[in-house]
Structure 1
Amino acid sequence: MSLPPSNSDSAGFGLLDPAIQRWIWREGWTSLRDAQERAIPALLNADRDVIIAASTAAGKTEAAFLPILTNLLKHDDPAGSVIYVSPLKALINDQWGRLETLCQELDIPVIAWHGDISASRKQRFLKSPRGVLLITPESLEAMFVNRGTGLAGIFANLRYLVVDELHAFIGSERGKQLQSLLHRVELVVERTVPRVGLSATLGDMALASSFLRPGKEQGVEIIESKTSGQVLKVQVRGYVEALSQQETANSEEAQQDDDSGVEQAIAAHLYQVLRGSNNLVFPNSRGKVEWYADQLRRLCERDGVPNEFWPHHGNLSKDVREETERALKAGDRPATAVCTTTLELGIDIGSIRTVGQIGSPPSVASLRQRLGRSGRRQGESAIFRSYCKERSLSDDSSLSDRLRQGLVQSVAMIRLLMAKWFEPPKVQGCHYSTLVQQILSIIAQRGGATAGELWRSLVATGPFSTVAQPDFLMLLRAMGEHDLVVQESSGLLLPGESGERFINHYDFYSAFISDEEFRLICDGKALGSLPVFRPLTVEQRIIFAGRRWQVTDVDANAKVVVVRPSPGGAPPVFDGIGARVHDHVRQEMRQLLSEETPCPFVDTTGQLLLGEARRCFSDLGLASRGLVDAGAETAVFTWHGDWTNDALAILLERQGLKCERAGLVLEVDGSVGRVQEALRLIAEAPVPPLPELLSDVQNMICEKWDWVLPPDLLAASYASTYLDVESARKVAARLGQESQ
């Protein structure tokens, strides 16, 4: 068999094992893609760390594994192994199917290892640890805890550590756990193992390199695909909710079943434009997923056609989710998934024509990930349809609604996406919660460890390098007080009674809390639930389900927020304690509002709404000032993200001023003069110690092991993840000197 002419200029192809070359020919490939061509020489000799960043469906898996498998074939005495770490069991199952076809011909085993895999299949790998091991961080953690003494033998011939969907880990507790596990693998085998990161969404490559190989990021080779970007077709549709519908939307019944005219109109348009093709639709809550999936199914029934619309979210059973995935992937009939973030990552669901977004997306990075699903066939465009619901304006409409916050934020995010910007992960977190878990895990793995050994493994040479020694010792003492660890007279730390109980429970292996949300309760009746990462204090005003509420109690352990109705004008249309918005998004919103030219991808209604927002922006003089007199309140516009705004709200409340976070706007009780005086004091006075600053915040226990942390470490952990105090003080200094 001769090489096809289209491969004759490929330097990488000739470096691959002949068996892999034959597989490529049989698959009908006419050429290697850019990322694949460049990854082959980089990975072939297992002598460096590599990041492969390319768009969805650009062949990243093959880019990594064609040279990796060639290495295993060329150096098979002894037979080598690869650990591939994925964030999702479903993605592991998907990758197993893709690799198994190739690896069967090469006599290289591919082993999927997670909670749904039988013990007998896992045992086969343990007896003969060769080939490709596909595993989640949690299952790798379980191997350390349960097979600690045998890991040196199991990993003896490990050649590569591959991390898929790298962006999904950076900056999170799970990501810190993964960094620790990768480091601990190298401690076990007593050598450096090349690390390979795969991702479709990486904005800051230096940040990604630092995550993959902390402290030695300069040695990471970056392969960013040079393939040309796909054509993107966008439409933003604006909808105006009539006053009568607003009253309906605010009723208790509507919280359970929103049948308003606007929702119906959005569903009708989705039905019209999506039928007959495969698509993804992202509402911003599980409840909305169910409502839209049900409404679209009813429209199919009305027209006497087979259902094409399926729900997909984390609360559904595995069988229901897989039914949706199969419908999308089968390709023999049209299927649209109405889903949450569960379908953002790289599970193969076939070709998607359109991505629909109802409301503003959580982030630009999330929007980019979602759009990577669309237009994957040669010559196809990616299609994005955004649906923005705004209220009719009245005399008591909030400034957020007058500025059409939801629409403006959606358009700003799309413009940033087109400019190829998306949010870098927040990596300043202390991650004390995961440090607690890793301390217990190492003690279990080794049958005990001294404080010095733990310090060297996790901090001095490990991923927790920012932790100071006094804080580390404070954490160990707190763990002792909670009976998680006990110390023998020799200094050896062993699991305490509580520690044993936690370690022996299957839930120990995850570093994060699964799908936990706060329940909002008023007069004993549940209003709903959602993740709450914004600081909550008693008497604070919040916005939820289209109404204003005042917090009367927060039970962080039970994840309950008790509220009572709060007087005030109509609240903004968005839920004020949801997704966090980056500085750059708010600054792009300001830029959009200051312009006069129409936005080419916004429909007629949306253009009218944008025009209203721009007139309001101009009338308030927001191009040159950030403090606006709103009667008994002062509206504060920082044009910064929620990390800054939340910190500034806490600092203002310490000055005795009640502050409501309304997205773009901080609504502060008091005159402009009083607020400006408080801002000057914030800028000039030293910041109090974090435990004092956050003494009124009731929901600082956010991560799995935060309950163990002493007050100083808990406050530091919360602030490092959710607040930017220094930025808030700089904003206060600027606004405090603003002329009125």
Structure 2
Amino acid sequence: MTPSSTVLHPTLAYHLANTLGWSRLRPLQTASLGPVEDGSDALLVAPTAGGKTEAVVFPLLSAMEKEEWNGLSVIYVCPLKALLNNLLPRLRSYAGWLGRRVEIWHGDVPGSRRQAILRDPPDILLTTPESLESMLISRSVDHRRLLGDLHAVVVDEAHAFAKDDRGWHLLSVLERLTHLAGRPLQRIGLSATVGNPEDVLTWLQGSNAGIRPARVITPDETIEAASADVELDYVGSLPNAARVIAWFQSEKRLVFCDSRRMVEELGELLRGHGVTTFLSHASLSADERRRAEEAFAEAQDCVIVSTSTLELGIDVGDLDRVIQMNAPWSVASFLQRLGRTGRRTGTRRTCLVLALTHDDLLTCAGLLLLWGTGFVEPAQPPPSPRHIIAQQLLALTMQEGRVDDTGWPDWWNGYPLFERREAQPILDHLVGDGFLEKDGPWLHIGPKAEERFGRRHFMELVAVFTAPPEFTVLHGSKEIGRTDPTLLTSSVAGPRLLLLAGRTWQVDWIDWRRRRCFVDPLEGTGGEARWASTGSFGLSFALTRAMRDVVLGATPPVRLTHRAIDVLAKVRAENASTVHSVGTVVTRVDDDLIWWTWAGYRANATLKATLGSLVDPVHRVNDFNIRLRNDLTWPDWHRARRDLRSRDPLPPDIDDRALNGLKFSAALPRALAVDTLSMRLADYAGAREALTEPSHLTTAT
């Protein structure tokens, strides 16, 4: 080992050289040794397979020995149970060199194993945020005994947490762990490339920010566009895509799709071509996914088709090629997926992007253009997580049995989210609406919380998102996965057929009360796959503007097939009247007046609210344009835009139905729930930029 490894515990250094056969540490691992072992908060940033796990675990194990930590000292948090399962054997091996223990705790771990952990806590515990919350609200867990020896928390895939409400939930739980431990906890995040690593680290620190030393640690090695082999092709349909994917014989291929339905349909098509195919998505049973991932890791000349479930660092072995169906939502996501290849020495990261429609080709080209510039989206936590404040107040009360009406902010250690002026109106609403009850100076869980969030140990309180109801699909006693209930209620001629796990099943009978559907396998095809959409805020301002640049002639720095070149020329011609090299375009076509902003969904939703009566009131927000009143004159349009430039854009309007997707919104005053969603939908910067650009009028025939 190199001299830089000498700060490691001697036993670790010995095993790295003799058990693993390492001659040196990777740059990230070398750079992280001192800061992590010295107790600094840190964000370790590297591409997939960049050695982040070892970069944090080795110095923590050294600190554990040097400082003689005992009991449960380190909690390692992942967003997915599959990631935890994948990490467990490796971390057990590393810790075992020092006589230390690693255990795992999540929803699939048997109760007997959990009881053994409570009796004799390990040194390192692998878990999810929801399982941490479950421990805290469980009356069978002695929180102070289990968690009183904590020193450090590792947050794997920190960028994924930072982008949604699970991150706010995790930070809130970490503050409660800090309170129980009675000491500031070292916080270390592991992240793929993000556009704002310093901001992500400050966010992750929570109440540590500005108090404890903190460092972003990133290696010198980077993935540049020039170092990857990326090709863009236009295939026009899913059957054509299957033929292209099947053509890469003798290769191990990982195919990413943007929906569970596409995963199922493509999987069935590939098997029809005789390709050994495995599937992975969130509505397949855990056993089904695990079998597929293990079989794929051991096989060659095969394909695994997946949603984003395999985007994170689950090890599926060496890959020859990643194939991306259409474009992912972000450059950051594309980098994650691209990083699944090129792990073998002397190989390049290789990705084939297949576009199904003209619109898809334009989106793919725009995303690859952004990627080629080195752009990576900042990881931005959703603003105003007031519903998480409500959830945490309820969960803390459940955890402690009763909470002091004046002392509850202490549990979050001065973290601004739970300062009294921010959280008190939410607490007052919880008391006034019966979610909490007040008895003298004490707060207790109220009847409305039990009625609204469930009686079974209040387990609804541990999950931040509201999931649409699904039916469990079983063949005998074996769970295959879950499906949308509309597939079981829609009118069909003949037998009802489902497509799940890449094959067709015939429905035998349905247990409506228990939401179970029993099926039998059927040879052949014809099954249907369907799941409710989780919804999204559409394309970003940056991506939509990159697509506009492509229409104007920019070409991404990747190889384009002849088909892609030909269709891209047609796409440019189709959209030529909607773009201008300087500013935006307003087109008058027949009786429609359309403002082509190319600003993305959130900016256009903000613009629609800001323009008010200038917009056709029934216009549905989209990524590219806004339909104006058709009696609007050109001088009136210019005057209105000039006036609006001097004002702040208005927040988007919120449909009451949208509140249903904001879990715990029922525990908020309605005005706060609406304001929370409105702030999350808004893109004020994009709206301002579109308003300030020159506007050009064209008349189409």
Q: TM-score, normalised by structure 2?
A: 0.83
Alpha-carbon distance in 2 for matches of 1:492, 1:457:
15
Question: Which residue of structure 1 aligns with residue 572 of structure 2?
Answer: 614
In the alignment, is the contact (CA less than 8 A) between 1:478 and 1:710 conserved in 2? yes
Q: Does the 8 A contact of 2:389 with 2:423 survive in 1?
A: no
Identify the residue that residue 3 of structure 1 maps to in structure 2: none
Deviations 1:401-444 (A, max 9, x none): xxx43212211211222333222223251111111110011112
Report the CA distance between 1:79 and its aligned residue: 5.1
What secondary structure does 2:417 align onto?
coil
Matched, 1:233 2:229: yes
Is residue 281–residue 307 contact of structure 2 (8 Å, CA) maintained in 1? yes
| Distance change >3 Å, CA 726–CA 203, structure 1 → 2 | closer
Q: CA deviation at 1:29?
A: 1.1
Indicate which of 449, 458, 464 corresponds to 1:499.
449
Deviation at 1:449, TM superposition (A): 1.7
3-state SS, counterpart of residue 699 of structure 1: helix
The aligned counterpart of 1:645 is: 604
Superposed CA offset, 1:130-150 (max 9, x none): 411111101111121125983
Superposed CA offset, 1:131-173 (max 9, x none): 1111110111112112598322222222211111101100311
**What is the match of residue 365 of structure 2?**
411
CA distance in 2: counterparts of 1:339 and 1:368, whole angstroms: 16
Give the distance between the partners of 1:377 and 1:413, measured in 2 at CA.
26
| Residues 206 and 217, structure 1, Cα contact 8 Å, conserved in 2 | no
Give unpaired runs (5+ residues) of structure 1: 1-6, 241-261, 301-306, 391-403, 528-574
SS in 2 for 1:213: helix
1:40 match: 33
Pairwise mapping of residues 24-173 of structure 1 onto structure 2 (< 5 A)? 24=16, 25-45=18-38, 47-76=39-68, 78=70, 81-147=73-139, 150-173=142-165
Give the partner amino acid of 2:52. K
Asked if the contact 2:253/2:320 (under 8 Å) is kept, the reply is yes
Q: CA deviation at 1:120?
A: 2.9
Aligned mates of 2:569, 2:376 — CA distance in 1: 26
Comparing 308-317 and 493-502, the one that deviates more: 493-502
Q: Secondary structure at the match of 1:56?
A: coil
- How has the CA–CA distance of structure 1 residues 19 and 526 changed in structure 2, closer, same or farther, with 3 Å as cutoff? farther
Structure 2: gaps spanning 5 or more residues: 471-482, 493-532
Could you say which residue in structure 1 is the equivalent of 2:463? 510
Counterpart position of 1:363: 330
C-alpha deviation, 1:121, in angstroms: 2.4
TM-superposed deviation, 1:647 = 1.9
Residue 310 in 1 paired to residue 298 in 2? Answer: no
Contact kept in structure 1, 2:365 and 2:556, CA below 8 Å? no
Q: How does 1:560-571 map to 2 (within 5 A)?
A: none
Q: Which residue of 1 aligns with 2:15?
A: 23
Residue 622 of structure 1 deviates from its aligned partner by 2.2
The residue aligned with 2:630 is 670
Whole-angstrom distance in 2 between the partners of 1:216 and 1:136:
21
Does structure 2 conserve the Cα–Cα contact (< 8 Å) formed by 1:279 and 1:352?
yes
Distance 1:520 1:579, change over 3 A: farther
Match 1:296 to one of 270, 281, 285: 270
Q: Decide whether aligned partners of structure 1 residues 144 and 639 sit closer, same or farther in structure 2, where only a CA change above 3 A counts.
A: same
CA shift, 1:734, in A, is: 4.5
Partner of 1:342: 309
Cα deviation, residue 49, structure 1 = 0.4
Query: Residue 496 of structure 2 corresponds to which residue in structure 1?
Result: none
Amino acid of the residue matched to residue 661 of structure 1? V
Query: Aligned AA for 2:690?
Result: V
Aligned equivalent of 1:444, options 385, 395, 398: 398
Structure 1 partner of 2:242: 267
Structure 2 Cα separation of the partners of residues 597 and 83 of structure 1: 46
Partner of residue 396, structure 1: none
Q: How does 1:617-632 map to 2 (within 5 A)?
A: 617-620=575-578, 622-624=580-582, 625-632=584-591
1:195-217 Cα offsets, whole Å, 9 max, x none, are 11111232211221122113654
Q: Is the 8 A contact 1:633 1:671 kept in 2?
A: no
> 2: distance between equivalents of 1:432 and 1:419?
36
Give the secondary structure class of the aligned counterpart of 1:635. strand
Match of 1:480 among 412, 424, 431: 431
For 1:491, the aligned partner's letter is P
CA RMSD of aligned residues (A): 3.2
Residue 319 (str. 1) matches residue 287 (str. 2): yes
TM-score by length of 1: 0.79
Contact 2:361–2:568, Cα closer than 8 Å, also in 1: yes
Task: Tell me, yes or no, if the aligned pair for 1:85 and 1:163 is still in contact at 8 Å.
Answer: yes
Paired residue type of 1:32:
L
Aligned residue type for 1:433: H
User: Which amino acid in 2 is paired with 1:296?
Assistant: L
Separation of aligned partners in 1, 2:491 and 2:55: 50
Tell me the secondary structure at the aligned position of residue 606 of structure 2.
Answer: helix
Aligned to 1:718: 677
Q: Tell me if the contact between 1:629 and 1:672 (Cα under 8 Å) persists in the aligned partners.
A: no
CA distance in 1 between counterparts of 2:485 and 2:604 reads: 23
Contact 2:368–2:556, Cα closer than 8 Å, also in 1: no
Task: Determine helix, strand or coil for the equivalent of 2:242.
Answer: helix
Q: Give distance in 2, aligned partners of 1:623 and 1:344.
A: 36
Name which of 461, 465, 471 aligns with 2:414: 461
Which residue number corresponds to residue 662 of structure 2?
703
Contact in 2 for aligned 1:148/1:446 (Cα 8 Å): no
AA of the residue aligned to 2:62: T
Q: Deviations over 1:490-524 (max 9, x none)?
A: 232110023245372323211222366999999x9
Per the alignment, do residues 576 and 85 of structure 1 end up closer, same or farther by CA in structure 2, a change over 3 Å counting? closer
Displacement, 1:278? Answer: 1.9
CA contact (8 A) 1:632 1:669 kept: no
Count, aligned residues: 634
Secondary structure, aligned partner of 2:104? strand
Q: Which residue of 2 aligns with 1:212?
A: 204
The alignment partner of 1:139 has SS state of helix
- Percent identity of paired positions between Structure 1 and Structure 2: 25
CA distance in 1 between counterparts of 2:163 and 2:578 reads 38
